[in-house]
Amino acid sequence: MSKGEILAGFLAPHPPHLVYGENPPQNEPRSEGGWEPLRWAYERARKSLEELKPDVLLVHSPHWITQVGHHFLGVRHLAGKSVDPIFPNLFRYTFELEVDVDLAEACCERAAQRGLTAKMMRNPKFRVDYGTITTLHMIRPQWDIPIVGLSANNSPYYLTTEEGLDEMDTLGKATREAIEKTGRRAVLLASNTLCHWHFQEEPTVPEDMSQEHPQSYDGYKWDMRIIELLRQGKTSEVFRLLPQFIDEAFAEVKSGAFTWMFAAMGYPELPGELHGYGTVIGTGNAVMEWNLVKAGLAASASGPAANGRESALYGST
């Protein structure tokens, strides 16, 4: 078996409004559209994903919250209807997905070897959370690529932010080892919003975009600062600022997906491609891509990685 690798990572937020705005057949409620710039951002991300031809998508979702350990979906086929408990008027989605259980088990095993509490979710009646489903639908609506779903252990909230994100860093490194060991060509999805200050009331017509704008100007400025640094590839500076960003912008990246993804990729000082930014009920959402194939840090479907560039681009691993 050849050594597996991570092809790309995407910041892929999960507001159910985006699915609602798109009106896919799986979702019951109908809309007149809305949040187009973010949905178009996902269209660009979809094209890029198509070119990468990954074996598997791994998604870390803040809406599968676990207290004891980091959990991994461990049932090959999961299906059901996901109703968003916060926005049931917008998201009632019939899903069906295939899990790469072998990779999930490898991730779980590696996480345990690195000292984390880790657990497989084997109950076939388990209902997959709407964050996982929204991110997966928005990035790959065909649902034809197996997935690995990771829970968000509540350590950044239960412990200090720094202690919790240290766990996510370890989880990311374990994830990379598992991908390499199992020979998978993988894409990582960090299902996180940036600034998470939001309005307390929904407009009468949820997709009325005349009502949509950042809830907080300070939060918006934080988002732009972080995105600009990410666009410049200043990854270490972003992670230096991350606790302050989380604190001042109530950023959802606190839940760990963003750190998990960057740790798995080795914190590359690589300019991220911004596919688009927009607000959803006032929160800041960016769809961004770090394409390790284009950067020569991973092999494309038809060629090897430009290994010589690796040491120049990678930060601490």
Partner 1 sequence: MTIVSAFLVTGSPLHFLRPDNPPWKTVIDGFDRASRALAMSRPDALLIYSTQWMAVLDALWQTRARVSGVHVDENWHEFGELPFDMTVDTALANACVQATKAAGITAKGVDYDQFPIDSGTIVATRLLDPEGRIPLVMAANNLYHNTATTERIGALAAAAARSQNKKVAVIGVGGLSGTVFREQIDIQQDRIADQNDDRWNREILRLMEKGDFPQLDAKGLIYAQEARVDMGFKHYSWIKGAIGRRFFGARVHGYGPAYGAGAAVVEFRL
User: What are the residues binding partner 1 (CB under 8 A)?
Assistant: 64-69, 71, 81, 83, 85-89, 92, 117, 119, 121-123, 125-127, 129, 151, 155, 158, 198, 200-202
End-to-end CA distance of the chain: 24
Closest CA to 32 of 22, 42, 19, 18: 22
User: Measured from the CB of residue 84, what is the shortest distance to partner 1 in angstroms?
Assistant: 9
* Nearer of residues 84 and 289 to partner 1, judged by Cβ: 84
CA within 13 Å, CB half, 288: 28
* Nearer of residues 3 and 122 to partner 1, judged by Cβ: 122
Closest CA to 139 of 57, 26, 227: 57
User: Measured from the CB of residue 313, what is the shortest distance to partner 1 in angstroms?
Assistant: 35
User: Measured from the CB of residue 4, what is the shortest distance to partner 1 in angstroms?
Assistant: 28
User: Measured from the CB of residue 123, what is the shortest distance to partner 1 in angstroms?
Assistant: 4
For the CA atoms of the chain, what is the radius of gyration?
Answer: 18
* Nearer of residues 89 and 161 to partner 1, judged by Cβ: 89
* Nearer of residues 124 and 183 to partner 1, judged by Cβ: 124
* Nearer of residues 48 and 61 to partner 1, judged by Cβ: 61
Asked whether the CA dihedral 32, 35, 36, 39 is positive or negative, the reply is negative
Phi, psi torsion values for 162, nearest 5 degrees: -65, -45
Closest CA to 216 of 200, 197, 189: 197
User: Measured from the CB of residue 208, what is the shortest distance to partner 1 in angstroms?
Assistant: 16
Residue type, 272: G
User: Measured from the CB of residue 152, what is the shortest distance to partner 1 in angstroms?
Assistant: 10
User: Measured from the CB of residue 114, what is the shortest distance to partner 1 in angstroms?
Assistant: 14
* Nearer of residues 158 and 236 to partner 1, judged by Cβ: 158
User: Measured from the CB of residue 71, what is the shortest distance to partner 1 in angstroms?
Assistant: 8
* Nearer of residues 48 and 155 to partner 1, judged by Cβ: 155
Q: Both tokens of residue 193? A: 């919003």
Query: Alpha-carbon distance 179 to 163, whole Å?
Result: 25
Angle at 245 between CA 276 and CA 111, to 5 degrees: 85
Closest CA to 260 of 175, 157, 130, 169: 169
Phi, psi torsion values for 150, nearest 5 degrees: -115, 140
Range list of H helices, the chain: 16-22, 36-52, 101-113, 130-139, 155-158, 161-182, 217-231, 235-249, 257-265, 310-313
* Nearer of residues 157 and 314 to partner 1, judged by Cβ: 157
